[in-house]
């Protein structure tokens, strides 16, 4: 009980950082709508901020894991917080300087922070909770807060921007950046003055005999690493491009404010999906869960592609009124409804892919985790490709990119996840 009480404050700070991973990452897509208008950019260029954010994972994924091993949780977390504050600060300054390049630089720096936070927050919560079931429970609570913050970002940006006009600029979303910088500063100060347990720093790890094999020697892991990159690209590209589509008046969009509420619903459904996934996770295998999620997701993407954008439906969303936030109905193209529902599918994919990919890896699991973090760069690459297609062929045609990605994930769940290298020693 003592340990729980002593670490209550840093645990809460970790929850905030868990949320900030989603907050800052999901800021890129709605910001893309803003910079598109301010700098008269294409969809491809509008998604470059998201690409810059995820590109940092390619540089920091594996080194970040080694940094954590060398300096511990606290120092790694503090470095991540400083980088996050600076990255968001540069994006704020880009509005003052009215520079697209400065905005991209800020997104890139923020990406380093998000990668480090991803590396440190999960094991740190596990340690603060004393490992075991309590540690896992804290991670699940953190993941829930992550989804909640992801829901709020497009909602906040949509409320601040309202209708996208020629006068829309980065300065319009300054309050969101101030919130982010304020949370980073607060958490940084708290963590600086509290003690954090560093169990792996207090005892030397046993040096194992060098192996002629590695995580890359396992076919199911290689395909799983590709799958995780594709998954993150689908998860980000579906709502990101949807925001562009709904905010684009020339494409029959409904305005940035409504677009924000609709995209927020996607992330809200991810939150719901995670609750459901956690409740049935002990009864349903990772393989079955991934098969169902990827198959349903592919069907929804296909329906969005072939459905006429002239057909509209009313979907329940959070709305901003003079009295505050309320739950209401928004009239949107039916395609948007299908795409929003994909959030239920993507919500359970990360854990399923990770579990299948590292099964049977034994001593190579730790290295595999670092590789996985590097492959998150797919969250920048796939949406960039999708929006290049959107520029040339239209928004709905661009959804063939995530559709094909979901088909690959279905293949991985059915066939590619089987360990065909069981002869490799893993002890």
Give me the mean pLDDT over the 225-253 stretch: 87
Residue 207, domain member (yes or no): no
- CA dist 241 and 243 (Å) reads 5
Residue 13: domain span: 1-201
CA-based radius of gyration for the chain: 21
**Residues 184 and 304 grouped into a single domain:** no
Residue 386, domain member (yes or no): yes
**Residues 253 and 108 grouped into a single domain:** no
Quote the tokens at residue 402. Answer: 């995530």
**Residues 179 and 289 grouped into a single domain:** no
Residue 206, domain member (yes or no): no
Residue 296, domain member (yes or no): yes
Cross-strand pairs, 327: 318
Domain final residue, candidates 136, 171, 201: 201
Q: Are 350 and 335 in contact (CB under 8 A)?
A: no
**Residues 185 and 44 grouped into a single domain:** yes
Q: What is the pLDDT of residue 70?
A: 81
**Which of 3-12, 49-58, 197-206 reaches the highest mean pLDDT?**
49-58
What's the pTM value of the predicted model, to 2 decimals? Answer: 0.81
**Residues 241 and 356 grouped into a single domain:** yes
Q: How far is CA 145 from CA 17, 19, 187, in A?
A: 9, 5, 15
**Residue in the block written with tokens 């400065």:** 102
**Residues 359 and 313 grouped into a single domain:** yes
Domain final residue, candidates 167, 201, 235: 201
Domain final residue, candidates 139, 170, 201: 201
Q: Is the pLDDT of residue 1 over 50?
A: no
Q: Is the pLDDT of residue 406 over 90?
A: yes
**Residues 244 and 177 grouped into a single domain:** no
Q: How many domains does the chain have?
A: 2
pLDDT in tens, 97-144: 888 888 889 989 998 998 888 888 877 776 676 655 565 567 667 777
**Residues 261 and 380 grouped into a single domain:** yes
- CA dist 387 and 366 (Å) reads 34
**Residues 21 and 146 grouped into a single domain:** yes
**Residues 302 and 155 grouped into a single domain:** no
**Residues 331 and 239 grouped into a single domain:** yes
Residue 208, domain member (yes or no): no
**Residues 74 and 150 grouped into a single domain:** yes
Q: What is the pLDDT of residue 6?
A: 64
Q: What is the DSSP letter of 284?
A: S
Residue 307, domain member (yes or no): yes
Residue 282, domain member (yes or no): yes
Residue 317, domain member (yes or no): yes
CATH number at residue 408: 1.20.1250.20
How sure is the predictor about 229, in pLDDT bands with cuts at 50, 70 and 90? Answer: very high
- 319: burial class by Cβ within 10 Å (0-12, 13-18, 19+)? middle
């Amino acid at each position: 009980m003592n340990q729980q009480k002593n670490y209550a404050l840093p645990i809460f700070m970790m929850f905030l950082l868990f949320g900030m991973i989603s907050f800052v990452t999901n800021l890129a897509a709605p910001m893309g709508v803003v910079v598109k208008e301010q700098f008269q950019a294409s969809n491809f260029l509008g998604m470059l901020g998201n690409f810059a954010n995820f590109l940092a994972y390619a540089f920091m994924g594996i080194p970040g894991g080694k940094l954590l091993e060398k300096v511990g949780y606290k120092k790694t977390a503090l470095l991540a917080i400083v980088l996050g504050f600076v990255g968001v600060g540069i994006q704020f300054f880009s509005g003052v300087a009215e520079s697209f390049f400065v905005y991209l630089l800020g997104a890139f720096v923020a990406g380093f922070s998000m990668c480090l936070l991803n590396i440190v927050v999960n094991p740190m919560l596990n340690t603060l909770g004393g490992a075991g079931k309590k540690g896992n429970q804290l991670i699940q609570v953190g993941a829930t807060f992550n989804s909640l913050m992801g829901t709020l970002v497009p909602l906040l940006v949509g409320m601040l921007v309202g209708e996208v006009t020629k006068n829309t600029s980065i300065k319009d979303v300054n309050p969101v950046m101030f919130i982010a910088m304020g949370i980073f500063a607060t958490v940084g100060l708290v963590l600086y003055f509290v003690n954090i347990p560093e169990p792996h720093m207090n005892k030397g790890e046993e040096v194992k005999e060098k192996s002629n094999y590695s995580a890359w020697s396992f076919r199911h892991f290689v395909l799983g690493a590709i799958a995780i990159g594709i998954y993150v690209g689908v998860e980000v590209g579906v709502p990101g491009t949807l925001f562009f589509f709904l905010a684009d008046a020339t494409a029959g969009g409904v305005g940035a404010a409504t677009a924000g509420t609709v995209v927020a619903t996607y992330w809200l459904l991810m939150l719901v999906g995670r609750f459901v996934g956690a409740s049935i996770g002990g009864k349903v295998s990772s393989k079955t869960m991934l098969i169902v999620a990827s198959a349903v997701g592919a069907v929804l993407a296909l329906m969005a592609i072939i459905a006429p954008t002239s057909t509209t439906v009313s979907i329940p969303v959070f709305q901003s009124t003079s009295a505050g936030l309320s739950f209401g109905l928004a009239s949107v193209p039916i395609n948007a409804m299908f795409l929003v529902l994909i959030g239920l599918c993507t919500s359970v994919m990360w854990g399923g892919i990770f579990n299948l990919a590292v099964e049977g890896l034994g001593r190579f699991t730790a290295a595999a985790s670092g590789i996985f973090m590097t492959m998150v760069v797919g969250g920048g690459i796939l949406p960039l490709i999708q929006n290049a297609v959107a520029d040339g062929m239209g928004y709905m045609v661009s959804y063939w990119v995530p559709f094909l990605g979901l088909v690959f994930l279905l293949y991985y769940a059915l066939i590619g996840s089987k360990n065909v290298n069981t002869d490799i020693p893993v002890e």
